[in-house]
A = this chain, B = another copy of it.
Amino acid sequence: MSGRTVTIAQVAKHAGVAVSTVSYVLSGKRTISADTRRRVLDSISALGYHPNAGARALASKRSNVIALVLPLRAGMHVPVLMRFASAVVTAARRFDHDVLLLTADEGPEGIRRVAASALVDALVLMDVELDDRRVPLLRELAEPSVLIGFPAEPAGLTCVDLDFAAAGARCVEHLAERGHEEIALLGAPSVVYDRGTGFATRTREGFARALHAHGLKGVTLPCEETFDEVYETVRDLLLDRPGLSGLVVHNEAAVSHVLAALRQLDRRVPHDVAVVAICPDDVAERAGPPLTSVLIPAEEVGREAVRLVMDKLEGRAVPESTLLTPLLAVRAST
């Protein structure tokens, strides 16, 4: 145990070797005899040595920290975002990196700050808008970055996300297979579309294209998140389109309101109206009835983002665009 903080010099003395030898044992950058390595490792654990992060960063020009830029914007579903974030942290630790959390209130300036001060080696950005103020900054930064989501002009960037267009299409396909002929997409709150958030738009486009391809009738609507608004939206939708028998919901916060509204309007799920959601599995499973859903593979996306950013950090080439294939799980609602 340690009285005060243990340095590499103390470890070296304890093991009877040079400081540089200890460093090489730790980094593996030069071959060290098995015998010496053992003595050093023994000394390290005997003294309870932990390398000083600042000193290491200074000497090696690597902080072993990545920034996670996570604006928490209105209309975004926080639990979903946090699954991404959590996956990023876990994956980063696999690469021996820690995660610095940045929110939006500092704006792009915060990104510049942590990059310029060498606080972080690389950045992962979430909740990307089509026209994102952070993007131009990324292009001029020396530090590698990866976006979770796609801006309007992704050339020269590295982006990863679920293939939301395919997800929207997959839902249509599933409903078409079940024989539905008129369906609707209830999407994100309109503020999210207005902001031009890519995932919402792409789902809508994929939905619309698949509708056309399968010769179905249908419509896409934004969907707010209070019960009353959801209720009105659903009620009006059913009034306007008496033939409608399928619903795709891409809005985690509205899911339970939609089901409650259908219940109140005396429509049985799936008998009168079939419902498919695009949401994490637990939201789908927690609903009443459990929902057929395209799951949002947050863990996989987060892991992939970190893998990509680490590749870039090591100078390896990476694809500009990584789209994960949506998987549909059938449950009681269709």
Contacts and interface: CB of A to CB of B under 8 A. Distances in A.
A16 interface: no
Please give the count of copies of this chain that the complex contains.
Answer: 2
Given A57-B53, A72-B82, A90 B103 contact: yes
A41 B58 CA distance: 24
A310 interface: no
Given A52-B117, A89-B103, A226 B288 contact: yes
Contacts of A57: 53-54, 57
A263 interface: yes
Interface stretch (A129-137, A149-157, A253-261): A253-261
Interface stretch (A31-39, A93-101, A243-251, A322-330): A93-101
A26 to B, nearest CB: 12
A219 interface: no
A101 B118 contact: no
Interface string A19-57: 000000000000000000000000000001011111111
A194 interface: no
Contacts of A99: 100-101
B53 A63 contact: yes
